[in-house]
Amino acid sequence: MTERMLVLRLSALGDVAMTLPAVYSLARTYPKLTVVFVTENRFLDLIVDAPANLKVIGVDRKAMRKTGGSIRFLHKLRKVKADAVADLHNVLRTWTADAYLRFIGKRVVMVDKMRRERRKIKRGGFGTKRAFVDRYFDVFKSLGYPSDTAVFKGFAFEGVERGSGVRRIGIAPFARYATKMLPTATVGDVLEHLSNSDEKVKVSLFGGGEKELAQLEKWRQEYPEMVEYVSGKIGLREELAVMAGLDVMLTMDSANMHLASLVGTRVVSVWGSTTPACGFMGWGQSEDDAICSGLECQPCTIAGSKECRLGTLACMKSVSASEIVERLLR
């Protein structure tokens, strides 16, 4: 039996978050197995309340782009002295490591990204809706370590509770690509609806870039009594704690959907150029909470694109604020 397993998932934020239910379940199911998880330094704060047998190694992405950095990376992996390797990334950066580790006698299993099946979805074929997190469990099973998705219960933060008589709602209106984002006006309408709700509502706003934070601050000033938190001033782990105190969160197909899922917060997600059929639903989330217009052109991409090929962004513009608010207040 394997005594030490190396698990690779270097980036990006949402993708790393998606692996953690499987990684934590593996570690907790097999306490005598040392699990060594390798990811970029900037994502280390995602590792919360880790099992004692889960170790983490951070790497520098920029350094890995240079020959010397790549060699040091491979040396670092060799020093782990793992018996088996689970590649949950399956991209060029990890293929090199996989080839090297196989050369020195390690058993390597890569996640099946089902690229052909996902292309079928894009072309309008039947395709698959199988969640990525299930494919990560498949990798561990192939290495002789099956475990159950029910093992992972989500991250818990001391002193954080829900159900205080106030409906606490998070809103993360941004994504990497415009084709995955609601129009700013629609988000503004959502806030207006919530401010006029019969329920007592408090809102937390999440974003990252300079322009995003400027827009969040504008909304905070428009609704000072309702908006109680705007992101950008605390770290990733502290933001997870804020999300843990929410009753529900509105997100796009973005990293925030997966972060909220890690803390067990219900997510209402809005889908545009991508759809849940691509396999990226948040862990433990219900498709009943996924808002997707179901247009003939959806999905037009697997992971998002900068521009709408039709020039309309109809998939996002057709989603109404009233529909979103109805889901949030269920």
Element (H, E) at 227: strand 227-230
CA distance 105 to 83: 9
SS3 of 77-111: HHHCCCCEEEECCCCHHHHHHHHHHHHCCCEEEEC
Rg from Cα positions in the chain: 21
Angle at alpha carbon of residue 202, lines to 175 and 221, rounded to 5°: 70
| Tens-place pLDDT, residues 154-163 | 999 988 888 7
Model confidence, pTM: 0.95
Q: Count CB atoms within 10 A of the CB of residue 119.
A: 12
State the Cα–Cα distance between residues 259 and 16, nearest whole angstrom: 10
Q: Which of 3, 62, 63 is nearest to 36 (CA)?
A: 3
With a cut of 50, which residues of the chain have pLDDT below it? 126
Q: Are 316 and 181 in contact (CB under 8 A)?
A: yes
Q: Which long-range contacts (CB under 8 A, 24 or more apart) does 115-122 make?
A: 118/278, 118/279, 118/302, 119/302, 121/275, 121/277, 121/278, 121/299, 121/302, 122/299, 122/300, 122/301, 122/302
How long is the chain?
330
203's enclosing H/E stretch is strand 201-205
Q: What is the pLDDT of residue 66?
A: 85
pLDDT digits (tens, 9 = 90+) for 186-239: 999 999 999 999 999 999 999 988 999 999 999 999 999 999 999 988 899 999
Q: Which CATH architecture has domain 4-151?
A: 3-Layer(aba) Sandwich (3.40)
> How far is the C-alpha of 216 from the C-alpha of 255, rounded, in Å?
17
Fold of 167-328: Rossmann fold (3.40.50)
Which residues make up the CATH 3.40.50.2000 domain(s) of the chain? 4-151, 167-328
